[in-house]
Amino acid sequence: MWRLKVFIQFLLAHLPGGEKMNYLLQYMIGTHSPGKKTKRVMEMIKKIQLINQHTPIEGKIIVEIGTGWNAIGAVLFYLMGARTCYTYDHVPHARFKLIRQLVGAIENRLVEIQSIVSIPAPVLQERLSKLKTAASLQELFSRANIMYFAPGDASKTGLPDKSVDVVFSYAVLEHVPEEVIHALTLESKRILKEEGIAYHLIGLHDHYVKFSNKISKVNFLKYPEKWWAFWVKNKISYHNRLREKQFIDIFKSHGGKIKSTRNETEASDIEILKGMKIDKQFAGMTYEELAVYRTEIILSF
């Protein structure tokens, strides 16, 4: 099953209309189910509240890298009181149907969300009510002060220097080429205010692991880079396999100052790495560095 999913996404990446077919397949297998949407909302609101503790979001200017199918980040920033969220995606993934479902999922958990963000419930309800009656994606984004650019390039925002309070990405940077990460970092450095921050949650695990009998999150580190580049580095399923240390090195190479990191590792993956042939591109890294499967990095410039 691991290789089957790789092959399917490889085909979709090379077929006309592959993005739409990928969406339909995701919908059929439950990727966009109400339960998964609600789970993602609750995960992400906690991360955005963490940002709020570093720099209050009310009235702030946000740049989001990677809008996604549901625009969860952009909608939650609106709910938190952001003045404007500029959000960029390489293709127009956002679907009005999915975002309407998102609004319903938020409403169903509004009491719990309020307890996390400590914004008065009437304020949250009023903001959410504005979105419930929107008749189109464009109207919903307008009411939420969301500026949606798709296709768009977050490394070339065109925004003024030192005009942005927060640059945000959630499970995105693992899906772009290394040179793009450099470009995104340089653009973040240019547009962020002196007191501004960048927040990146990066999924460093094998994204196909649930389709395998293996429980390892590091299984994909054994494949030669030429094989990986041919089959996986495409417009549907691109995954760069960079490790946490490499991301931090990129940020620091452009003057980034790491304010905090929070990562996750499983001891079982470290043991698996010790007995696994690892691709030569990861030579010189410790098993502990290779095993990090998720990281949250907050930095400034």
Contact 197, 258 (CB under 8 A): no
Please report which confidence band the pLDDT of residue 253 belongs to, taking 50, 70 and 90 as the band edges.
very high
Domain that holds residue 279: 34-300
For 29-50, the DSSP string reads TTTT-HHHHHHHHHHHHHHHHH
- Domain annotation covers residue 114: yes
**How much of the chain, in percent, has pLDDT values that exceed 90?**
81
Beta strands in 153-248 (DSSP E): 164-170, 192-203
- Domain annotation covers residue 7: no
CA distance 258 to 199: 10
> What is the CATH number for 271?
3.40.50.150
- The mean pLDDT value for 10-38 works out to 68
- The mean pLDDT value for 256-282 works out to 96
Q: What is the pLDDT of residues 175-196, one digit of tens each?
A: 999 999 999 999 999 999 999 9
- Domain annotation covers residue 27: no
- Domain annotation covers residue 255: yes
User: Which residue shows structure tokens 């739409």?
Assistant: 20
- Domain annotation covers residue 18: no
CA distance 71 to 41: 10
Which is nearest to 54 in space by CA: 256, 264, 299, 250? 299
Please report which confidence band the pLDDT of residue 80 belongs to, taking 50, 70 and 90 as the band edges.
very high
- Domain annotation covers residue 13: no
CA distance 156 to 19: 23
Task: Give the pairing of strands 164-170 and 192-203.
Answer: parallel
The secondary element (H helix, E strand) that includes residue 263 is strand 257-264
The answer on pLDDT for 236 being more than 70 is yes
CA distance 137 to 292: 37
User: Which residue shows structure tokens 């460093």?
Assistant: 204
- Domain annotation covers residue 26: no
- What pLDDT is stored for residue 200 in this prediction? 98
Bridge partners of 267? Answer: none
- The mean pLDDT value for 14-33 works out to 65
- Domain annotation covers residue 22: no
Domain total for the chain?
1
